[in-house]
Amino acid sequence: MTIGQVKKMYKKNSIASAKPALQQSVFIAINQTLKPLSCFFLAVFFCLCSHFVQGQTGRIEQELHGLPFIKDSVGLINSLNRLGTLYRSRNLDSCFYYGIKAKRMATSLNYQKGQTDADQLIAYTFFKKGLYAESLDLLGKVLPHYQKSGDAEQVIRVYLDMVEVLNKGISERTKIISLLQKAMQIGKKLKKDSIMSEVYMSYCNRNADLPADSINYYLSKSAEIANRYKDERMLIFTRLWQARLLILNGQKSKALPLVRQLIADCRAIGNSNLEINALFLMTGIYETQRKKALDYFYQAHQVALKSGDRSLEIYILNNALEVANQLGDKNEIIKVHLELEMAMSIDWEKSRKFISDYVKYNAIQDDNKLLSKKNARGTTWLVLISIAAVVLLLSVYLMMLYRSRKAKEQIEVLNNVANMQIIAMEEAKHQAVREEQQRLGQDLHDGLSSSIASIRHQLEIILMDIDDTALKNKLGILQIETEKAYKAARNKSHEWFSTADEQLEQSFENQIKLLTDNSLPNSRYHKTIHIDDNSLVNVGTDTRIALLRIIQEAITNIIKHAKAKNVGVLIYEEEDDLLLTINDDGIGLDEKTSGNGKSAMGLQSIRRRVQSLNGKTNIHSDTKGTEITISIPLASA
């Protein structure tokens, strides 16, 4: 018997189409063929039996609790779709209900993503209701939207849904394998690849031609991903495989505690499908004890009843009826018959309701088409009106921009002229004060100080020639006072000389600070200005004005282009050169436009001013900022 034949028989043993009468022969066949795989599942079992956190139940409660407080329509649609997704494996009616509700709202708002997510839920419901062609058609419409948006995980989910539909419907094996292979290729690009656990598991289940070593490989990958992401459903599904293999190997005593734990874990996370699978395993363990097996069928029936999946409920009852007939208990047979008749009656009523909902769904589709046509006509007019409005607004904006630019240019020229005049006047005023102080100091030094020095010298001669003690004492006192007057005059003349130079230095530093304070407010910039006291002693007025203009051009570039927060200005003397450094921590100069942009005009102006002073300019710029270093020979300055 080949692996493919065994897997087909194994599939018949699943909930979808199993019959208890075939279980024993299937167990023997799988035991003979898949026995090597039992070692693998036994190895991974211990790393997969970690405790489960509360899953879908808590998330559903959280979504339902927050639903009434959502005011945003798009947010409400997304919440409804999330609820429908959470109900996929719990309650089919709820899944369809929230999908239809989200679809209706998303259609009215023309919210494409909301419609696509809702359509995927509805397609899944169609599949579960046996409408395979309708489900496959809707999934085919959903897929391009996810592919266009680049949502790889949702693309894979659609592929998995298509695989399930094809498997239950027309069973196109080639297409099923192709879809799963596409899903595996896309999964390689996922950062969060938790869904790939299901892809690899499905590839093993749906590919009848896989050899045993390939099955081993893909199941191993599925188990590793499920364990990494703590995927409760896939972890339990992997453990179900392990339990089945133990049963197939005749190790029912080892399988029993595992299956019991599986039932408890399935109930903890509220996954009815997995719980029913686990209960079916119990019927396999107790296949020779039909009374116990029947009890587990009843438990599975209760779970299906709570989940609202009537087709599954009917399937379980049919299996239970077969066991009851084998048991030969008339009371049990009557009990199962009554439950089966009630389930079929309810299923018929629910089918009628579903057909009604399906009609509503088609009505939504028709409304969507009419709304699309209406929106298309409205959109055409809206586009035309918008274009006209944009052209008008653009014309007005360009006119205002032109006028604003002209006004700015005029104001800039006026400011430059005024600044030049103010700086020249300030320099002339300070120069006049400095010259007057130096003249007074020179007069004091050359006139009064010289006279006092002469008097002091004559007193020294007289003191040497006089013998009268009283007169000598008086002349000594006069000599002391004369010495004091000489020192006072001499010190005052030196003070006026140095004060004139200091005032010139302070004037220049104040002008720089005034320039930076006006253009670089403290609320936006942190400024560091330092001028060496001795660096400008021998620097003339023309050079100072040129330095101010250079600093002004550099600051203008910083304001317009740099986007800096810290600005520094440093003037100091090094050997025979006067050095000016201006730096910022902005975005730097654009290499592509620095040769012909507005910032380049300012830099060219700086270079021209420095060249007129026989100096050199060095500009270093990168993404961390810009530094302009200017060197001027002190002889030229």
Q: 630 in the Ramachandran plot: left (φ > 0), alpha (ψ -120 to 50) or beta?
A: beta
Which pLDDT value is given to residue 21? 30
Amino acid of residue 270: G
Which of residues 572 and 492 earns the better pLDDT score?
A: 572
Range 151-179 average pLDDT: 87
- Read off the tokens for 153: 């995980």
Which pLDDT value is given to residue 350? 63
293, 287 Cβ separation under 8 angstroms: yes
CA-nearest of 608, 605, 599 to 626 is 599
Residue 69 reports pLDDT greater than 80: yes
Cα gap 536→570, rounded to integer Å:
12
Which pLDDT value is given to residue 371? 57
Reported as a pLDDT band with limits 50, 70 and 90, residue 616 is: very high
Residue 438 reports pLDDT greater than 70: no
Reported as a pLDDT band with limits 50, 70 and 90, residue 271 is: confident
- The CB-side HSE value for 515 (13 A sphere, CA atoms) comes to 27
Reported as a pLDDT band with limits 50, 70 and 90, residue 401 is: confident
Percent of the chain with pLDDT over 90: 18
Cα gap 592→315, rounded to integer Å:
74
The shares of helix, strand and coil residues in the chain, as percent rounded to the nearest 5, are 75, 5, 15
Cα gap 494→449, rounded to integer Å:
11
Q: What is the pTM of this model?
A: 0.47
Range 398-420 average pLDDT: 65
Range 473-496 average pLDDT: 69
Which pLDDT value is given to residue 76? 93
Which of residues 25 and 542 earns the better pLDDT score?
A: 542
Range 58-65 average pLDDT: 86
Residue 383 reports pLDDT greater than 70: yes
Reported as a pLDDT band with limits 50, 70 and 90, residue 75 is: very high
Residue 367 reports pLDDT greater than 70: no
Which pLDDT value is given to residue 159? 94
Which pLDDT value is given to residue 220? 87
Cα gap 279→269, rounded to integer Å:
15
Reported as a pLDDT band with limits 50, 70 and 90, residue 477 is: confident
Helix axes 449-465, 469-519, angle to 10 degrees: 160
468, 445 Cβ separation under 8 angstroms: no
Which pLDDT value is given to residue 42? 33
Which pLDDT value is given to residue 233? 81
Which pLDDT value is given to residue 9? 37
Amino acid of residue 335: K
Range 247-269 average pLDDT: 88
- The 10s digit of each residue's pLDDT in 175-224 is 999 999 999 999 988 888 899 999 998 898 888 788 878 878 888 899 89
Superfamily covering domain 520-637? Histidine kinase-like ATPase, C-terminal domain (3.30.565.10)
Residue 270 reports pLDDT greater than 70: yes
Q: Which of 42-51, 346-355, 479-488 has the highest mean pLDDT?
A: 479-488
Cα gap 180→205, rounded to integer Å:
11
Look at residue 141 and give its three-state secondary structure. Answer: helix
The residues near 98 (Cβ < 8 Å, ≥ 6 apart) are 80, 81, 83, 84, 87, 121
Which of residues 287 and 500 earns the better pLDDT score?
A: 287
Range 65-82 average pLDDT: 91
Reported as a pLDDT band with limits 50, 70 and 90, residue 89 is: confident
Q: Classify residue 597 by its DSSP letter.
A: S
Using a CB cutoff of 8 Å and minimum separation of 24, what contacts does 342-347 make? 343/305, 343/310, 343/313, 343/314, 343/317, 344/314, 346/310, 347/310, 347/311, 347/313, 347/314
Kindly report the average pLDDT of the chain as a whole number. 76
Which pLDDT value is given to residue 349? 65
- The 10s digit of each residue's pLDDT in 121-143 is 999 988 887 788 888 999 999 99
Which of residues 43 and 604 earns the better pLDDT score?
A: 604
Query: How far is the CA of 196 from the CAs of 69, 185, 201, in angstroms?
Result: 35, 10, 8
- The 10s digit of each residue's pLDDT in 504-543 is 455 677 777 777 777 788 888 898 888 886 777 778 777 8
